[in-house]
Chains A and B, each alone.
Chain A
Amino acid sequence: EVHLVESGGGLVQPGGSLRLSCAASGFTFSAYWMHWVRQVPGKGLAWVSRINGDGEESSTRYADAVKGRFTISRDNAKNTLYLRVNSVRADDSAVYYCARGLRSGATFYFDYWGRGIQVTVSS
């Protein structure tokens, strides 16, 4: 059974940093693209970032809102996905989900998700 468990969230001051982790189990982690998606309370989901199964930097993509501040990476030996969040702002406060990615032609979508981890940016 596929399991994705996020960790590393919490309270962080504006301008601060933290690293989110997503521990994966139940599938061959290195065979799949992985994504981060976030949700501000009361609002819709918003895609954040993606990385291919090999963890190639050239494969990474970011939403415009986080480009230059967030960095996605993975350690396939540890079956873990990461999101380094730097220079955080109040509008980065959200629940962050990791999700396993599939492709349908040129379209990415997500077949399994974690339960999410809360990140709160406040002084």
Chain B
Amino acid sequence: SSELTQPPSVSVSPGQTARITCSGDAMPKKYAYWYQHKSGQAPVLVIYEDTKRPPGIPERFSGSTSGTTATLIITGAQADDEADYHCYSTDINGNHVFGGGSTLTVL
């Protein structure tokens, strides 16, 4: 199956914009999804179908895509946004693929 590549870590200061990328060959043809995962808690869907935000997810979370890269954008990052973020998609064969996860630090 194809791979999705994420940076292992991203750091920003409070109030700055955090961008977490996810690269994969199938990205131009398949939607990207993003999950926020805090230790010991259930993962939470924060972006679906590249750019859509589920009900209850703060407006500071947004998504974009360009070519083979999807990006999760957190505008005005807060301390509460510290978590692991996982991108997800399917490859051209329909296999479920997750990125390796990115740890966001806000300090």
Contact = CB atoms under 8 A, between A and B. Distances in A.
- Specify whether A and B are partners: yes
Interface of A: 4, 35, 37, 43-47, 63, 97, 99, 104, 106-116
Interface of B: 30-31, 33, 35, 37, 40-45, 48-49, 54, 86, 88-90, 94, 96-101
Contacts of A109: 31, 33, 45, 48, 88
A34 to B, nearest CB: 13
Contacts of A112: 42, 45
A110 B43 CA distance: 10
A45 to B, nearest CB: 4
A4 to B, nearest CB: 7
A113 B43 contact: yes
B98 A108 contact: no
A44 B48 contact: no
Contacts of B44: 113
Contacts of B100: 43-44
Contacts of B48: 104, 109, 111
